[in-house]
Amino acid sequence: MLSEIVRKIDRGERLDVADGLALFETRDLLGLFALADRLKEARHGDRVYFNRNLRVEVTNVCEASCLFCSFAKLEEGHPGARTLALEEAWRELEQRLDDPPTEIHIVNGLHPGLPFSYYEDLLRGFKRIAPEVHLKCFTAVELHFFARHYGMRHAEVLDRLVSAGLGSLPGGGAEIFHPEVRERICADKATADEWLEVHRIAHRLGLRSNATMLYGHIETFAHRVDHLARLRALQDETGGFQAFIPLAFHPDGNGMRNLPAPTAMDDLRTLAVSRLFLDSFDHVKAYWVSLGPDVAQIALACGADDIDGTIVHETIYSAAGSSSPSGLTKAELVRLIQEAGRRPVERDTLYRVLEEHPRVAVPEASVKVRDRKARRHLDVLV
Amino acid sequence: MSSSEVPLRVAAVSYLNARPLVEPLRDHPAVRLTCGLPRDVARMLAEDEADVALMPVAAAAEQGDVRLLPGMAIGARGPVRSVLLVSERPVHELDEVCLDLSSRTSLVLARLILARYKLSPRLLGFPSSRALAEVRGSRGAVVIGDPALDAGARFPCVIDLAGAWYAWTGLPFVFAAWCHRPGALAPEHHRLLLDAKEVGLGMRRSLAEEHARKTGRSAGELERYLTEHLSYALGDDEERGLRRFFDEGHAAGLLPRGDDVVVAAPRGPAPRGSTLDAVLARAAEGERLSGSDAERLLAGASVFELGIAADASRRRRHPAGVVTYIVDRNVNYTNVCTTSCRFCAFYRPVGHAEGYVLDREVLGRKLDEVVRAGGVQILLQGGLNPELGLDWYEDLFRWMKSGWPLGLHALSPEEVLFIARNASLDVERVLERLHAAGLDSVPGGGAEILVDRVRRRIAKAKCTSEEWLGVMRAAHHMGLRSSATMMYGTVDTPRDRVLHLLKLRDLQDETRGFTAFFCWDFQYEQGVRVAPKDTGTLVYLRTQALARLVLDNFDHVGASWVTQGPAVGQVALRFGADDFGSVMFEENVVSSAGTSFRMDAGTMESRIHEAGFLAARRDVRYTHLTEPA
């Protein structure tokens, strides 16, 4: 079965839904990984991209009640609910001006009590502090919520945020598009069509965006292929997606805590199939926060060409029991990629190259290595 | 004649038969000569302690990428008198044959000749001084070198193996030749050795007389041995004999193909070698790989090429697709240790406030818990604590075996050696007593890298490679099984890792006593005085896959989830592993180095399933305890 798909790929033919399903179901996992690696190499050579980004989550108050979420607290005043004052949010950046990130990545709960101007001011403030920084903010789910909640059309929401400094859209909130799953795990937020519509409009306005898929819970392989097919169709139409990022479900502390997390084999399989199926996506990202740095390293040989960024302060996955560190330094990311035998390339949000690093590792005496107990990288003093 | 200031490092076998090639080099100003047993000489070339080595040709094939200097060798066209299978009864009545382990060539030759006679006695390896003493009744021995010269007359049944080879093939047999690595020698070195041979051949009478004086043998007979039985030529006939030997040895699975060994002068043609794809295909088919094949795979093959070949190799051995695991508990009975290895974060020196020895109450509770959890084994290891004597261990083992139905997988070679030194007993005696007290098997820890150059740098106080292997050999001889390990990623090179694997394969050829192989990278913790390198999960996958391909005589290769984490461990199952190690209750050494992963049996099985395998519980001998499911 895999050999037929290899022939199709060699002829430059597009994979259909049946092929996608066959790839998910194949027992020849190494063959699948190697094939995905081949396509990644054809597109990007031995480059692996990363960036220096800063995650900011300004509020975890959320009117949606997604089963998979351990981050959101339903109401203001609920234990653990937290909304940053604008000054507090801006301070995250101000503290790091000696080595400023190139991107701020903002994702939040759907807070019913904030004025729209809060978000506009938030972005303007960041731009005031660091005019160069790229603001990749608000998932389609948030943007759809803004439109509904504040009584605006999608395009109007986007126009106003772009005026305030918005540079591009992150890919979150896609979860699983298929209604059989979506209605069970996140019925009270943007539907698949609404999510896709927000990205369509953003692409038309000239904004780039990413796409994600939350896998490894109650969905089937067929649901995953359906999800990828919908993304591919929109990409065919607009060409506006930059990266696809599969996100592994983490079960701690949420409404599906009885489910096991997907295993590493499923993580790598999903990444590899994504690379093969999403032929019109330039980038497939091994999001190290989701996979853990160790498995992310293997993923760099299974079709991924990007490992995300420094993050600095991740709270969504860590709320769901991820043991990944909440941030990595640039040197640690470079080392992680070099250890995998790839060439680290620092990019900006729009994949413009900022710095190419050598493929080989740095000399023995100054290496950064993992401290497995602390799950983070350390300097070795020799 | 070399004008270089740096003397040529020459290693040579110390037998009488080598002296005509070696004697004139003895006080040569341009030569630094080291003599030893064939096995040691081969090791010196492999570990770059010699530029040229007069060594067994089988060892050259094992190492690979070796050239033999033309015009000189130690061989025979017919009976040689110094490589004999001796016994009290005729060969077809033998149940066991003891093998003198000092030369690989003779070992392989002996196996080929026995196979040719359609005989398959049990083979037991012994150090060269011992094999002869073991001969009695239905137990014969292959003896090599000087001890064999007398043995011929002492036993009623004698087969001269070179004679048998000639009768079989009509070709001369080459035992040893001057081996060198591409780039290590200049043409003047070749001339120097050829000149030495010219002089040395003329010295054969005086060498025989000198040897006769020392040993009381007949000088005339020794001279005939050197002049009539032995041949020092390496020409076309000898090369044909050599190729035939490699081909037969390869077909029997005893040798690599030998196509990366050529007869060539310095700066002569390079070994033909094979393409990477060809090596991969051969590896997947289970053919024996040379050291240089393995190095090429490590340097050139992608992680998936290695993984797919290793997975195929695993499937050939375990076609049912079962991955096993064991429910056991790792108990570190003491953390007091005198070795202070640079990579260890667990030990405490003698007298340190944090030093401990587990008392029986604590230990008993741990054993109860293991039994309650369905565990089948205790892995008992500790530091080298000078306050614990052999009696202490014997008492402990008897106590444990009397109270709990658990296998006792205990004491790595380092600990056995330490107990032996403390008790002033030899290793065999200590193992016998521990075995009698309840020891079931020996864990393969502390192997690190079995190359002394590396060991000296990271664990100076630890045993040498030969000592480690010697404990395992002794354990295997008395029927104990053991595992084998490798810890890479300190000061070792890819070559060192390959040499490590070859040494394990070599001993396994001899004893078949190893059950399984596990490897891991050095687990760094801040404060430890050695820097890690070549870490990273892809390196782990490559290394484990390579081990599966090189260790063609190991039944099992395990994925080390304890060091790599359950996620990477699971992926590693597809890179040649058929075992997932143990459901560990505690593992103090690795967790003090920062690795602290946990997995229960259910999680373990679901990870095995997700990787596409059936799961079964096993005991220490890898016997299934549950139906694969």
The model's pLDDT over B516-555, given as tens digits with 9 standing for 90+, comes to 999 998 876 655 666 667 778 999 999 999 999 999 999 9
- Is the pLDDT at A318 greater than 80, yes or no? no
**C-alpha span between A141 and A113 (Å, rounded):** 17
Q: Are B255 and B290 in contact (CB under 8 A)?
A: no
Q: What is the dihedral of CA B170, B176, B181, B182, to 10 degrees?
A: -30
**C-alpha span between B386 and B20 (Å, rounded):** 49
% pLDDT > 70, chain A:
92
Lowest-confidence range among B189-198, B333-342, B592-601? B592-601
Average pLDDT over residues B123-148: 84
**A50 residue type, one letter:** F
Helix (H, G, I), strand (E, B) or coil at B155: coil
- Is the pLDDT at A380 greater than 70, yes or no? no
In the block, tokens 């302690």 appear at B49
Maximum Cα–Cα distance across chain B: 76
Question: How close is the nearest chain B Cα to the Cα of A294, in Å?
Answer: 6
With contacts defined as CB-CB under 8 Å, which chain A residues touch B594? 371-374
pLDDT tier at A105 (50, 70, 90 boundaries)? very high
Q: Is A48 on the interface with B (CB under 8 A)?
A: no
**C-alpha span between B170 and A314 (Å, rounded):** 76
Question: How close is the nearest chain B Cα to the Cα of A51, in Å?
Answer: 21
Predicted pLDDT of residue A366: 34
Of A27, A33, A264, the CB nearest to B304: A33
Predicted pLDDT of residue B273: 65
Helix (H, G, I), strand (E, B) or coil at B48: coil
| Total residue length of chain B | 629
Helix (H, G, I), strand (E, B) or coil at B217: coil
**C-alpha span between B206 and A103 (Å, rounded):** 85
Picking from B309, B308, B307, B303, the residue whose alpha carbon sits closest to that of residue B286 is B309
Q: Are B569 and A347 in contact (CB under 8 A)?
A: no
Question: How close is the nearest chain A Cα to the Cα of B306, in Å?
Answer: 10
**Which residue has better confidence, A293 or B531?**
A293
Residue B198: Cβ within 10 Å count = 10
Lowest-confidence range among A353-357, B284-288, B494-498? B284-288
With contacts defined as CB-CB under 8 Å, which chain A residues touch B536? 297, 336, 339-340
Bridge partners (DSSP) listed for residue A353: A347
**Which residue has better confidence, A312 or B451?**
B451
Q: Is A33 on the interface with B (CB under 8 A)?
A: yes
- Is the pLDDT at B3 greater than 60, yes or no? no
Average pLDDT over residues B248-265: 93
Question: How close is the nearest chain A Cα to the Cα of B348, in Å?
Answer: 20
Q: Are A177 and A145 in contact (CB under 8 A)?
A: no
Predicted pLDDT of residue B270: 66
Which residues make up the CATH 3.40.190.10 domain(s) of chain B? 8-73+173-271, 83-169
Q: Which residue of B has its CA nearest to A370?
A: B524
Contact A297 B536 (CB under 8 A): yes
- Is the pLDDT at B605 greater than 90, yes or no? yes
| Residue B184: half-sphere exposure toward Cβ, Cα within 13 Å | 23
- Is the pLDDT at A81 greater than 70, yes or no? yes
In the block, tokens 């009885």 appear at A258
Q: Which residue of B has its CA nearest to A36?
A: B304
Of A266, A294, A367, the CB nearest to B610: A266
Q: Which residue of A has its CA nearest to B575?
A: A30
Contact B571 A298 (CB under 8 A): yes
A59 DSSP 8-state letter: B
Average pLDDT over residues A87-104: 93
- Is the pLDDT at A153 greater than 60, yes or no? yes
Q: Is A372 on the interface with B (CB under 8 A)?
A: yes
- Is the pLDDT at A378 greater than 70, yes or no? no
Contact A264 B567 (CB under 8 A): yes
- Is the pLDDT at B126 greater than 80, yes or no? no
What are the CA-CA distances from residue A145 to residues A109, A203, B211 (Å)? 10, 18, 99
**C-alpha span between B372 and B237 (Å, rounded):** 68
| Total residue length of chain A | 382
Of B525, B567, B596, the CB nearest to A292: B567
Q: Which of residues 243-272 of A touch B (CB under 8 A)?
A: 260, 263-268
Average pLDDT over residues B150-157: 88
Q: Which residue of B has its CA nearest to A360?
A: B534
pLDDT tens sequence across B303-330: 999 999 999 999 999 999 999 999 988 8
Picking from B521, B526, B522, B529, the residue whose alpha carbon sits closest to that of residue B342 is B529
Contact B538 A369 (CB under 8 A): no
**C-alpha span between B305 and B309 (Å, rounded):** 6
CA angle A193, A196, A199 (to 5 degrees): 150
Contact B307 A264 (CB under 8 A): no
Positive or negative: CA dihedral A368, A369, A374, A375: positive
Mutation target to probe the B interface, by most B beta carbons within 10 A, among A2, A46, A290, A298 is A298
Picking from A308, A300, A311, the residue whose alpha carbon sits closest to that of residue A275 is A300
Average pLDDT over residues B59-77: 95
What are the CA-CA distances from residue A174 to residues A170, A211, B583 (Å)? 10, 7, 38
Helices A116-129 and A140-150, interaxial angle, to 10°? 130
Contact A33 B536 (CB under 8 A): no
Residue B527: Cβ within 10 Å count = 7
Of A294, A367, A373, the CB nearest to B531: A367
Predicted pLDDT of residue A257: 84
With contacts defined as CB-CB under 8 Å, which chain B residues touch A295? 537, 567-568, 571
% pLDDT > 90, chain B:
70
- Is the pLDDT at A362 greater than 80, yes or no? no
- Fold of the domain built from segment(s) B8-73+173-271: D-Maltodextrin-Binding Protein; domain 2 (3.40.190)
- Is the pLDDT at A367 greater than 70, yes or no? no
Bridge partners (DSSP) listed for residue A105: A55, A136
Contact A294 B537 (CB under 8 A): yes
**C-alpha span between B44 and A94 (Å, rounded):** 61
- Is the pLDDT at A269 greater than 80, yes or no? yes
Q: Is A10 on the interface with B (CB under 8 A)?
A: no
Chain B residues near any Cβ of chain A (below 8 Å): 302-305, 307-308, 311, 523-526, 530-533, 535-539, 541, 564-568, 570-571, 574-575, 591, 593-596, 603, 606-607, 610-612
- Is the pLDDT at A316 greater than 90, yes or no? no
Average pLDDT over residues A280-294: 94
**C-alpha span between B538 and B571 (Å, rounded):** 10
Helix (H, G, I), strand (E, B) or coil at A123: helix
Average pLDDT over residues B232-250: 96
Across chain B, mean pLDDT equals 90
Picking from B9, B360, B17, the residue whose alpha carbon sits closest to that of residue B189 is B9
Predicted pLDDT of residue A311: 83
**A108 residue type, one letter:** N
**C-alpha span between A373 and A310 (Å, rounded):** 20
Which residues make up the CATH 3.20.20.70 domain(s) of chain B? 305-589+598-617
Q: Mind spelling out the 3-state secondary structure of A153-217?
A: CHHHHHHHHHHHCEEEECCCCCCCCCHHHHHHHCCCCCCHHHHHHHHHHHHHCCCEEEEEEEECC
Of A266, A292, A341, the CB nearest to B538: A341
Predicted pLDDT of residue A377: 37
**C-alpha span between B324 and B583 (Å, rounded):** 11
pLDDT tier at B51 (50, 70, 90 boundaries)? very high
Predicted pLDDT of residue B274: 77
**b/e code A307-336 from CB counts within 10 Å (16+ = b):** bbbbbbebbbbbbbebebbbbbebbbbbbb
A192-198 long-range contacts (CB < 8 A, ≥24 apart) are A192/A230, A194/A140, A194/A144, A195/A140, A195/A141, A195/A144, A196/A140, A196/A230, A196/A234, A197/A154, A198/A140, A198/A143, A198/A144, A198/A154, A198/A169
Alpha helices in B357-412 (DSSP H): 360-372, 390-403
CATH number for domain B305-589+598-617, candidates 1.10.510.10, 3.40.50.970, 3.20.20.70, 3.40.50.300? 3.20.20.70
Average pLDDT over residues A140-144: 98
In the block, tokens 């063959």 appear at A31
Picking from B596, B342, B494, B542, the residue whose alpha carbon sits closest to that of residue A380 is B342
Average pLDDT over residues B122-145: 84
**C-alpha span between A94 and B160 (Å, rounded):** 86
Bridge partners (DSSP) listed for residue B141: B86, B98
Of B526, B535, B571, the CB nearest to A268: B571
Q: Are B394 and B430 in contact (CB under 8 A)?
A: no
**C-alpha span between B620 and B407 (Å, rounded):** 7
Which residues lie below 8 Å from residue A332, measured CB to CB, with a gap of 6+? A368, A376, A377
What are the φ and ψ backbone dihedral angles of A370, each rounded to 5 degrees?
-85, 135
Contact B308 A34 (CB under 8 A): yes
Residue B3: Cβ within 10 Å count = 6
pLDDT tens sequence across B381-408: 988 898 999 999 999 999 999 999 999 9
With contacts defined as CB-CB under 8 Å, which chain A residues touch B565? 292, 294, 372
Please provide the CATH number assigned to the domain covering B83-169.
3.40.190.10
- Is the pLDDT at B150 greater than 60, yes or no? yes
Q: Are A172 and A131 in contact (CB under 8 A)?
A: no
With contacts defined as CB-CB under 8 Å, which chain B residues touch A31? 308
Q: Is A233 on the interface with B (CB under 8 A)?
A: no
Average pLDDT over residues A19-34: 95
**C-alpha span between A132 and A267 (Å, rounded):** 35
What's the helix, strand, coil split of chain A in %, to 5?
A: 40, 15, 40
- pTM of the model as a whole: 0.89
Q: Is A294 on the interface with B (CB under 8 A)?
A: yes
pLDDT tens sequence across B466-475: 999 999 999 9
- Is the pLDDT at A348 greater than 80, yes or no? yes
Predicted pLDDT of residue A246: 97
| Residue A69: half-sphere exposure toward Cβ, Cα within 13 Å | 20
Measured in whole angstroms, the distance separating CA A13 from the mean position of its chain's CA atoms is 28
Bridge partners (DSSP) listed for residue B180: B52, B67
Contact B568 A301 (CB under 8 A): no
DSSP secondary structure letters along A279-316 = TT-SEEB--HHHH-HHHHHHHTTTT--EEEE--S---H
CA angle A86, A89, A94 (to 5 degrees): 115
pLDDT tier at B146 (50, 70, 90 boundaries)? confident
Q: Are A318 and A71 in contact (CB under 8 A)?
A: no
Helix (H, G, I), strand (E, B) or coil at B522: coil
Average pLDDT over residues B186-215: 95
Domains of chain A by start residue, with CATH: 2-379 (3.20.20.70)
Helix (H, G, I), strand (E, B) or coil at B16: helix
Parallel/antiparallel/unpaired status of strands B83-87 and B122-126: unpaired
Predicted pLDDT of residue B133: 85
**C-alpha span between A120 and A216 (Å, rounded):** 35
Positive or negative: CA dihedral B1, B2, B5, B9: negative
Rg of chain A, C-alpha, whole Å:
20
Q: Is A29 on the interface with B (CB under 8 A)?
A: yes
